[in-house]
Amino acid sequence: MGKFYDEIPRYVMTMIQKQHMFWVATAPLSADGHVDVSSKGVKGTFHIIDSHMVWYENLSGSGVETISHLHENGKITILFNTFEGPPSIIQGHCLLNEYVHVGKFSEFGTPEYNALICLETRHPGCCVVIMINMHKVGHVGAKNA
């Protein structure tokens, strides 16, 4: 059975930093819209700021569904899973609430974008930074994955 946390535990941070790939899922509010799931996997594009805040570089070629959905409702889920060692799955959940817009983005050239990425460390094709304030983190599997 999995466990849920109100923040990212240290052992989960360590596991996340070892992973080579992750998935991002968003959805519109409209009933006739569709869920968007995007795979991400360029080394060095996912960053952990603290036990709640993470961000990643959204590279060109992945479309704009994630950005469109975040602009509409701020809801986003991130999923990591191990490909080596004991099986393990990590999910990070974010929701829009009345106090904070927890899933948001900053486009290339904006002050928020420039505060996170300097030109020298920017990955080619990074047009948007997605910032996520985790309110729930789920983990299923071995702690040492």
pLDDT, tens only, 106-143:
888 888 888 888 778 888 888 888 888 888 899 999 87
pLDDT digits (tens, 9 = 90+) for 53-68: 899 998 877 678 888 8
Distance CA 61, CA 40 (A): 11
Tell me which residue has tokens 């995007």.
38
For 116, the token pair is 């996170």
Count: domains in the chain: 1
Q: What is the pLDDT of residues 7-35, one digit of tens each?
A: 999 999 999 999 999 999 999 998 888 99
> What is the span of the domain harbouring residue 60?
3-141
d(CA 44, CA 103): 20
| CATH number of the domain that residue 95 is part of | 2.30.110.10
- The conformation of residue 7, written as its DSSP 8-state character, comes to S
**DSSP type of residue 61:** T
Dist CA 83 CA 80 (whole Å):
10
Q: How far is CA 75 from CA 4, 54, 100, 144, in A?
A: 18, 14, 12, 29
